[in-house]
Amino acid sequence: MNNHKFGWIVGSTISTIIVLLLTLLITTCVHKTRSPSSTQEKITIKEEVYKLRDKPTRFKPNTYMPKLKESKASGAIDLSTFSPGKSLVFVDDSRAWWESDHDKNDTEDDHSMYITMEAPLRRLIDLISEQNAILKIQDTYRASGIHNPHSLHKEGRAIDLTCDKLGLEELAKLCWMVGFDWVYYEAKAKGGAHVHCSVKRSEN
């Protein structure tokens, strides 16, 4: 073996060792930086589980929970405190089916909803997806049109829901569990039976 070849072997062995050491160092750093966030995720999920209300044994058609008028449970409409720019958020989740994404004649956007609607809706999508079913968001914010003048849909504080596989009674129970302030199993609605849920106004 001449000196040139020996030098080359030593050189490449040292380079390989350096590369291996660097890889080990980078892997350790990445692992360390990721650890706290994955712990955080676990804690968040655990808190979410504890927030669920008990599942009602029955949720009969044309009944609502709690047993109060919607204006008492969620608060009556007050358009003077409502501003679409400040009060509404855009929510999307590809596991759910959004009516306005499939209706080209519809000028409304079912992804727009009042701020306090987002948390219970996201929990509901989680629960329903776990059962391999698809939540259908039929209607949320509607400034005008089909709803009555006092409808909370005009503030984006109401949402109409159905589901591809679960019956409406089961859906209404899950809606109650995830924390909507008022849940109504509307079996005789003109546009078709659905579960209507509403939320209180934000305190901020």
* Interface segment toward Zn ion; rule CB under 5 A; list 17-25, 51-59, 107-115, 154-162: 154-162
* Interface segment toward Zn ion; rule CB under 5 A; list 29-37, 123-131, 151-159, 161-169: 151-159
Identify the residue among 142, 157, 173, 196 touching Zn ion (CB under 5 A). 196
Size of residue set near Zn ion by CB under 5 A? 3
* Interface segment toward Zn ion; rule CB under 5 A; list 79-87, 90-98, 130-138, 195-203: 195-203
Q: Closest distance between Zn ion and the C-beta of residue 36, in Å?
A: 42
Residues 41-60 interacting with Zn ion (rule: CB under 5 A): none
Reading the block at residue 138, the tokens are 């039929």
Q: Closest distance between Zn ion and the C-beta of residue 94, in Å?
A: 24
Quick note: the x/- pattern for Zn ion over 99-138, rule CB under 5 A, is: ----------------------------------------
The CB density around residue 120, as the number of other CB atoms within 10 Å, is 21
Q: Closest distance between Zn ion and the C-beta of residue 117, in Å?
A: 12
Positions of E strands within the chain = 64-65, 88-90, 97-98, 112-114, 135-139, 158-163, 182-186, 194-198
DSSP state of 64: E
CA distances from 54 to 6, 57, 179 (A): 75, 9, 10
Pure H helices in 52-83: 70
* Interface segment toward Zn ion; rule CB under 5 A; list 28-36, 83-91, 118-126, 190-198: 190-198
Between 87 and 140, whose beta carbon lies closer to Zn ion?
A: 140
Question: Are 153 and 140 in contact, with CB atoms under 8 Å apart?
Answer: yes
Backbone φ and ψ for 129, nearest 5 degrees, come out as: -65, -35
Q: Closest distance between Zn ion and the C-beta of residue 39, in Å?
A: 40
Identify the residue among 100, 160, 161, 176 touching Zn ion (CB under 5 A). 160
Q: Closest distance between Zn ion and the C-beta of residue 160, in Å?
A: 4
Residues in a beta bridge with 65: 183
Non-local CB neighbours of 175 within 8 Å, separated by 6+ positions:
120, 124, 161, 183, 195, 197
Question: Are 135 and 92 in contact, with CB atoms under 8 Å apart?
Answer: no
Between 34 and 150, whose beta carbon lies closer to Zn ion?
A: 150
Please give the residue ranges that form the binding site for Zn ion (CB under 5 A).
158, 160, 196
